[in-house]
Amino acid sequence: MQKGGFLPKQIVYLLWTYIIAICFFFVFRLAILPLNIESIREILSEEGGLMLLFKAFFMGFRFDTLISCFVLSPFLISLILAYYLNIKNRIFYKINHYALIVLFSLCFAICCIDIPYFKYFFNRFNVQAFIWIDSPIFVFKMISQEPSYIVYFFIFVAIITLYSWLMFRNYKRFLGNLKSNKTTENRTAKTYILNFLLFILLIGLCFLGMRGRIEKKSPMKVGTAYFSNNPLINQMGLNPNFTLIKSIEEKSKQDNKPLDLMDKNEAKAFVKQEFIRMKSSGNKREVVLGKKTNVVLVIMEAMGTCNIGHFGNTQNLTPNLDYLLNNSVSYENVYTAGIHTYNGVYSTLFGQPALMHKHSMNLTIIPKIEGGLPNVLKENGYSTLYFTTHDDQFDNIGGFLSANGEERIVSVKDYPKDEVKSTLGVSDHVMFNRAIEEINSLDKTKPFFATLLTSANHGPYIFPENIPLKPKSKDIKDKMIEYSDWAIGKFIEKAKQFPWFDNTLFVFIADHGAYKGKADFELPLSYHHTPFFIYSPSKLKPKKVENIGLQIDVAAMISSYLGIENNKTLGIDFETYPRLYGYFSADDKLGVIDNEYYYIWNKNGTEYLYKYKTSDKTNYINKKKDKAKQMQKYAFSMLMN
């Protein structure tokens, strides 16, 4: 560092503070590369790929500058005043110095958290990370018990230590000796005028940096980063502090408002007409099993099709699920409603879509969902049970389900304490064994409906001890997929030993998928494409159904199999009445899909239309405007009803 020359030392100190911050932001952005190595290799293999990467980093520099300028702006004013007022007080400068360190450390903390968050959700850090703020102890334990997250904590500590040391050097060089320098004696009128012009220029540049762009109509937005057709490149340019702040602003405006995507009356009329269209086909379900058939619904944590051999995974992680799929009625093109577990539970049981960022179950006044499976089946004489491995009050699921037809909820409080391995409670096979016991204790004069939510395929990843499974995978996440598959296989084998097995539909679906491998699109299909199959060897012949279906259709499908009228959801028996499109959301994005096109709408205003079947990454949004409009209208209408 030079001593500043003719520039006031206060300004040189701030300039170096900016440079140091930009370097640290750059390092955090650089960390994204090895975590998405498959996508990066693909980008670099294409013509112009390296230049695209450079553009992403330059875009990142712009967003990093924006955040830095917001942090620096009050200190710029403060130190300019200190220059003109000739303030030499050491305490004054130390207060400014330590305040800067604290603010930038908070920014770096968010960047550090963003790395695993982005790796998991393929989304930069945003306000949705705080949806569990009312369960802080649960969330803290879930994070602290996952070893990979602890690594990020130590990385953060190392980064803050290095940053503080560099800032100490910066302070010592430029502000630490101001008290002993009699600079006022050397200040001339010319110096004051030049520095005044310099300060005006710096304030202007700081304002421009805060705005991010020189265009009059709008400052930088999230959509500014979306300059290519590559989803990773678009995400890389963003600064997670920016996405967090913007999402908080948006959430504060929208939390108490219903979705307003299109005219309400038009949406209502469209949905009514669409359901009339489907019902008027004249089709009827071929197999109706009757209201005395038991139902066991297994909602599998993060078990997207990307993990399963039946759907193309070559790692051989799921031999049991592959066997069940090949001997079931398997619905091959089904999509989850959202990307969170609460989306999965809510949409599967109650036939309602995920409403973008809204948490549909975390409500003070809990509504009764008349078309929900627990209520409908209870009204038809079923005993209803819900099993989870952990605290049922997390996400308000326990309270919501108790108010909506679940007679018995078995959660972590019902298991022996020595079986509880983490904040996610007991292992899956322990829950499955308990479910067998509870089912065997039921009054067999009544049919039963049991829902089981697994958790093995979610961090903290704890592989159970003293089980016969010897996983072949080295990666802990793949090991947990193997374990989850093994636990499901053991559950089915054990259930076969009891008389109720032959009179039971075993229904399997994921709560959501997973971001695995590389993301071809802004909204990865791997996070939504789910297995959905019904296994009942004594009642159903194996077959594959290619119709597009949704997680919200599960309630309608099960009701249809049982011969129970259930038309109070947005779900449909899509095998009998095929859908035009599937639709789903991921907080700030909406996806719509048919057998050829995949439409993506982002709240920031960007739209994409892809021919996903051939992995064509060309954006056809301008060439196929009518098609995109049809798909958008379908999804908007459904979400607003």
For the ranges 141-145, 209-213, 333-337, 342-346, the lowest mean pLDDT is seen at: 141-145
Q: For residue 459, what pLDDT is reported?
A: 84
- What mean pLDDT do residues 302-315 have? 95
Q: For residue 357, what pLDDT is reported?
A: 78
Range 559-575 burial, b when 16+ CB lie within 10 A, else e: bbbbebebebbbbbbbb
Q: For residue 4, what pLDDT is reported?
A: 43
Q: Is the pLDDT of residue 478 over 80?
A: yes
Q: For residue 2, what pLDDT is reported?
A: 41
Q: Is residue 420 classed as helix, strand or coil in its secondary structure?
A: coil
pLDDT band with cut points at 50, 70 and 90 for residue 181 = very low
Q: Distance between CA 506 and CA 147 in Å, rounded?
A: 34
Q: Is the pLDDT of residue 383 over 60?
A: yes
Q: Which residue has 């705005």 as its token pair?
A: 211
Q: Is the pLDDT of residue 30 over 50?
A: yes
Q: For residue range 514-557, what is the model confidence (pLDDT) as tens digits?
A: 887 777 788 999 999 999 999 999 999 999 999 999 999 999 99
Q: For residue 507, what pLDDT is reported?
A: 98
CA 20 to chain centre: 31
Assess contact for 521 and 608: CB atoms under 8 A.
Answer: yes
Q: For residue 215, what pLDDT is reported?
A: 62
Assess contact for 424 and 415: CB atoms under 8 A.
Answer: no
Element (H, E) at 535: strand 529-535
Q: How far is CA 213 from CA 207, 216, 221, 602, in A?
A: 10, 8, 10, 21
DSSP letter for 454, please.
Answer: -
Q: For residue 119, what pLDDT is reported?
A: 84
Of 203, 235, 233, which Cα lies nearest the Cα of 222?
Answer: 235
- What mean pLDDT do residues 587-602 have? 94
In this predicted model, which residue has the larger pLDDT, 316 or 195? 316
287-581 is a CATH 3.40.50.300 domain: no
Q: For residue 179, what pLDDT is reported?
A: 55
Q: For residue 275, what pLDDT is reported?
A: 86
pLDDT band with cut points at 50, 70 and 90 for residue 186 = low
Q: Which residue has 């010897």 as its token pair?
A: 470
> Going by C-beta distance under 8 Å and a sequence separation of 6 or more, which residues neighbour residue 51?
none
Q: Is the pLDDT of residue 31 over 70?
A: yes
Percentage of residues of the chain with pLDDT beyond 70 = 93
Element (H, E) at 453: strand 448-453
Q: Which two tokens stand for residue 267?
A: 């949406």
- How many other CB atoms are there within 10 angstroms of residue 156's CB atom? 17
pLDDT band with cut points at 50, 70 and 90 for residue 279 = confident
Q: For residue range 207-232, what is the model confidence (pLDDT) as tens digits?
A: 999 988 776 556 787 767 877 768 88
Q: Distance between CA 235 and CA 230 in Å, rounded?
A: 9
Q: Is residue 450 classed as helix, strand or coil in its secondary structure?
A: strand
For the ranges 81-85, 103-107, 251-255, 509-513, the lowest mean pLDDT is seen at: 251-255
Q: Distance between CA 614 and CA 610 in Å, rounded?
A: 9
DSSP letter for 425, please.
Answer: B
Number of H helices, E strands in the chain: 19, 12
pLDDT band with cut points at 50, 70 and 90 for residue 402 = confident
Q: Which two tokens stand for residue 7?
A: 């520039």
Q: Distance between CA 489 and CA 485 in Å, rounded?
A: 6
For residue 590, list its beta bridge partners.
585, 601
Q: How far is CA 166 from CA 14, 79, 156, 233, in A?
A: 13, 20, 15, 31
> Going by C-beta distance under 8 Å and a sequence separation of 6 or more, which residues neighbour residue 249?
none
Q: Is the pLDDT of residue 363 over 70?
A: no
Assess contact for 638 and 353: CB atoms under 8 A.
Answer: yes
Q: Distance between CA 152 and CA 147 in Å, rounded?
A: 9
Of 165, 162, 157, 167, which Cα lies nearest the Cα of 18?
Answer: 167
Of 146, 11, 149, which Cα lies nearest the Cα of 75?
Answer: 11
Q: For residue 6, what pLDDT is reported?
A: 62
* CATH 3.40.720.10 residue ranges for the chain: 287-581
- How many other CB atoms are there within 10 angstroms of residue 56's CB atom? 24
Dihedral sign from CA coordinates of 370, 387, 412, 113 = negative
pLDDT band with cut points at 50, 70 and 90 for residue 180 = very low
> Going by C-beta distance under 8 Å and a sequence separation of 6 or more, which residues neighbour residue 297?
348, 349, 373, 449, 450, 451, 452, 507, 509, 554, 558
- How many other CB atoms are there within 10 angstroms of residue 124's CB atom? 24
Q: Distance between CA 549 and CA 398 in Å, rounded?
A: 27
Q: For residue 295, what pLDDT is reported?
A: 98
- What is the rounded average pLDDT for all residues in the chain? 89
Q: Which two tokens stand for residue 219?
A: 């400052």
In this predicted model, which residue has the larger pLDDT, 344 or 120? 344
Q: Is the pLDDT of residue 499 over 90?
A: yes
Q: Distance between CA 126 and CA 408 in Å, rounded?
A: 35
Assess contact for 561 and 505: CB atoms under 8 A.
Answer: yes
Q: For residue range 247-259, what is the model confidence (pLDDT) as tens digits?
A: 887 776 655 466 7
Q: For residue 255, what pLDDT is reported?
A: 54
In this predicted model, which residue has the larger pLDDT, 385 or 356? 385
Q: Which two tokens stand for residue 43?
A: 């980008």
> Going by C-beta distance under 8 Å and a sequence separation of 6 or more, which residues neighbour residue 628?
599, 607, 609, 620, 621
Q: Is the pTM of this model over 0.75?
A: yes
Q: For residue range 86-118, what is the model confidence (pLDDT) as tens digits?
A: 888 889 999 999 999 999 999 999 999 999 888
